[in-house]
Amino acid sequence: MRRPFIYHRASATFAGLLMVIVACVTRGAAAQEFGGREKLRAHSAEFRREVIKVTNGVWVAVGFSDANSVLIEGDGGSIVVDTTSDVEDAKDVKAEFAKLSTAPVRAIIYTHAHPDHTGGAGVFAGNDRPEILAHRLFVDRVPDVGRNGRDGGDQFGSTLPDALFINAGTGLQFGRRPAPTAYLPPTRTFTGDRLDLTIAGVRLQLLHTPGETRENIAVWLPDRRVLLAGDDFYKSFPALYAIRGARLRPIDQWIASLGLMIDLGAEYLVPGHTRPVLGSANVRAALTTYRDGIKSVLDQTLEGMRKGERPDELVQHVTLPPALAGSPYLQEFYGTVAWSVRAIYADYAGWFDGNPTKLFPLPERDRATRVIELAGGREQVLSRARRALTDKDLQWAAELADYVLAIDEGNVEAKRLKATALSELGERQISAIARNYYLSAAQYLLRDLPAR
Residues within the interface to Zn ion (CB under 5 A): 67, 114, 116, 231, 272
Alpha helices in 110-250 (DSSP H): 115-118, 121-125, 136-140
Q: CB of 111: closest distance to Zn ion in angstroms?
A: 8
Q: CB of 217: closest distance to Zn ion in angstroms?
A: 13
By beta-carbon proximity to Zn ion, the closer residue of 240 and 368 is 240
Output b/e per residue, 316-352; b: 16+ Cβ within 10 A. eebebeeebeebebbbbbbbbbbbbbbbbbebeeeee
Instruction: List, in order, residues 6 or more apart from 377 with CB less than 8 Å away.
Output: none
By beta-carbon proximity to Zn ion, the closer residue of 67 and 388 is 67
By beta-carbon proximity to Zn ion, the closer residue of 174 and 403 is 174
Return the HEC string of 280-344.
Answer: HHHHHHHHHHHHHHHHHHHHHHHHHHHCCCCHHHHHHHCCCCHHHHCCCCCCCCCCCHHHHHHHH
By beta-carbon proximity to Zn ion, the closer residue of 116 and 332 is 116
Q: CB of 64: closest distance to Zn ion in angstroms?
A: 14
By beta-carbon proximity to Zn ion, the closer residue of 111 and 420 is 111
- Dist. CA 369–CA 404, nearest whole Å: 8
Q: CB of 114: closest distance to Zn ion in angstroms?
A: 5
By beta-carbon proximity to Zn ion, the closer residue of 63 and 272 is 272
Q: CB of 288: closest distance to Zn ion in angstroms?
A: 22
120: nearest Cα among 132, 137, 138: 132
- Dist. CA 170–CA 63, nearest whole Å: 10
If you write DSSP's letter for every residue of 326-395 in order, what string do you get?
T-TTS-SSSS-HHHHHHHHHHHHH-S--S-GGGTSPPPHHHHHHHHHHHHT-HHHHHHHHHHHHHTT-HH
Q: CB of 212: closest distance to Zn ion in angstroms?
A: 7
| Widest CA span in the chain | 83
By beta-carbon proximity to Zn ion, the closer residue of 153 and 272 is 272
Q: CB of 116: closest distance to Zn ion in angstroms?
A: 5
